[in-house]
C-alpha cells in the first residue's frame, strides 16, 4: 500500500472515531459542553491549565514558568503547532498568576538564545508588574543558555542562578541582513523600486546601502540597545556605564557572569527552587506549572504522526514563512534581542 493510500486510511479512521464521539455526545444533556471539549482535543487552545509538580499547601504556591526556545510569536498553534516556545500561551500563564492570590513566588526557568524585541519586552513588563502588584519574589534559573533576550527577561529577577556551563550575556541588539546588489549588477538585474522618499526602502537587499541608511539603522538599533542596558542596570543595581562595558555583545559562561555581577549564584533549577523556598519562607509550598490545551492527544499523535504524511499538514513553505516573518526578511530586517551566533 503506497503512502497516499495510507494517508486516506488514516484520515478515514480519524473521521470515524470522531464521528462516533460526536454522535455519542449529541445524545447527552451536556452536548454543547462536551462538543466544545472535542473541539479542544482537535484544535487545542492556549488556556493555561495548572498541574502540580510538588504537592504542598494550597494556600501558598510557587509557580514554575518555563521559557524554552527562541522567543518569537511564529503564529502557529493548535493541531499543527511547531512546538517550542508559545508566546500566547506564556502570556496567558502570566495572566493566570496575576489573578491567583495563592501564588507566593515564581521560579523562572530559561533555556533560550533570546528572540524578538517586542515579545521579550512584553514578557519583562508583565513580570515586573507581577513583582510590583503582587509583591512576590521571582527567582530565575538559567539552563543551557539564557543569552540576549533570554538574559533580558531574567535581569529583574530577585535572584539569578546559572550553572558554570550556562551560556549567557550577549547583551545587545542585532539586525541581520545581506546585500546582493553587487551580484544583481553582474547578472544585469536592476532594482526598479518606486518610493515616496529616499529611506522608504531602507534595509533593502537589492540596492547598495547608503551612508544615511546606515546612520538611521544604527540609531534605531542604538535606541533599543539603550533600553536593554537600562533594564539590566535597574535589575542588577549597576551603573549604566558599568553595564555598557559588559554589553558589547560578548557571551559569558556562568562563572564569568557571576564574576561580573550578571548573576547571583551558581546552581541548577532544583537548587534555585530550594533557595526560593528557604529565602522566602515558602517551605511546604505547592509547586505548580502550566500547560495549555494544544498539548493534547491530537497534537502529539495526529500532529506528529499523520501530519508527517504528505498532504495533511500545512506546507513547509507556510511554516517557514511564519517563522521568517517573525524574525524579519532580507527586504525588511527586524531588530532582535538574539544571540548572534544562533
Q: How far is CA 59 from CA 93, 138, 219, 283, 327, in A?
A: 19, 18, 49, 12, 41
Q: How far is CA 98 from CA 78, 101, 129, 132, in A?
A: 25, 8, 9, 11
Choose the catalytic residue: 89, 148, 204, 205.
148
Q: How far is CA 28 from CA 14, 15, 17, 22, 104, in A?
A: 22, 20, 17, 10, 41
Q: What are phi and psi of 289, to 5 degrees?
A: -130, 180
> How far apart are the two ends of the chain, measured CA to CA in Å?
42
SS3 159: strand
Choose the catalytic residue: 200, 214, 230, 245.
200
181 is catalytic: no
β partners of residue 310: none
Cα–Cα distance between 320 and 322 in angstroms, integer? Answer: 5
Q: Which of 257, 176, 163, 175 is nearest to 219 (CA)?
A: 175
- If you search the block for the grid coordinates 447527552, which residue do you land on? 28
C-alpha cell at 140: 530565575
200 is catalytic: yes
**Residues noted as catalytic:** 148, 200
Amino acid at each position: 500500500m503506497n503512502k497516499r493510500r495510507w494517508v486516506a486510511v488514516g484520515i478515514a479512521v480519524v473521521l470515524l472515531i470522531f464521528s462516533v464521539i460526536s454522535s455519542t455526545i449529541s445524545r447527552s444533556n451536556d452536548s454543547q459542553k462536551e462538543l466544545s471539549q472535542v473541539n479542544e482535543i482537535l484544535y487545542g487552545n492556549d488556556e493555561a491549565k495548572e498541574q502540580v509538580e510538588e504537592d504542598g499547601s494550597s494556600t501558598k504556591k510557587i509557580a514554575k514558568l518555563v521559557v524554552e526556545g527562541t522567543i518569537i510569536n511564529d503564529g502557529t498553534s493548535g493541531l499543527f503547532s511547531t512546538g517550542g516556545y508559545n508566546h500566547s500561551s506564556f502570556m496567558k500563564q502570566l495572566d493566570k498568576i496575576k489573578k491567583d492570590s495563592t501564588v507566593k513566588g515564581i521560579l523562572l526557568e530559561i533555556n533560550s538564545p533570546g528572540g524578538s524585541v517586542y515579545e521579550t519586552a512584553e514578557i519583562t513588563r508583565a513580570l515586573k508588574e507581577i513583582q510590583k502588584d503582587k509583591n512576590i519574589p521571582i527567582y530565575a534559573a538559567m539552563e543551557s543558555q539564557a543569552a540576549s533576550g533570554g538574559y533580558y527577561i531574567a535581569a529583574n529577577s530577585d535572584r539569578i542562578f546559572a550553572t558554570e556551563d550556562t551560556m549567557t550575556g550577549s547583551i545587545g541588539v542585532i539586525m541581520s541582513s545581506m546585500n546582493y546588489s553587487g551580484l544583481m549588477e553582474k547578472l544585469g538585474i536592476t532594482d526598479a523600486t518606486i518610493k515616496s522618499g529616499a529611506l522608504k526602502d531602507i534595509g533593502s537587499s537589492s540596492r547598495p546601502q547608503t551612508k544615511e541608511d546606515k546612520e538611521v539603522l544604527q540609531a534605531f538599533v542604538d535606541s533599543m540597545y539603550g533600553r536593554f542596558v537600562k533594564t539590566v542596570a535597574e535589575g542588577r543595581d549597576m551603573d549604566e556605564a558599568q553595564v555598557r562595558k559588559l554589553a558589547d555583545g560578548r557571551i559569558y559562561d556562568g562563572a564569568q557572569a557571576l564574576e561580573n555581577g550578571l548573576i547571583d549564584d551558581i546552581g541548577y533549577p532544583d537548587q534555585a527552587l530550594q533557595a526560593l523556598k528557604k529565602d522566602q519562607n515558602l517551605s511546604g509550598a505547592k509547586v505548580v506549572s502550566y500547560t495549555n490545551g494544544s498539548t493534547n492527544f491530537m497534537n502529539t499523535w495526529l500532529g506528529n504522526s499523520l501530519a508527517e504524511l504528505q498532504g495533511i499538514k500545512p506546507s513547509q513553505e507556510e511554516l517557514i514563512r511564519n517563522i521568517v516573518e517573525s524574525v524579519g526578511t532580507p527586504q525588511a530586517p527586524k531588530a532582535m534581542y538574539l544571540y548572534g551566533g544562533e
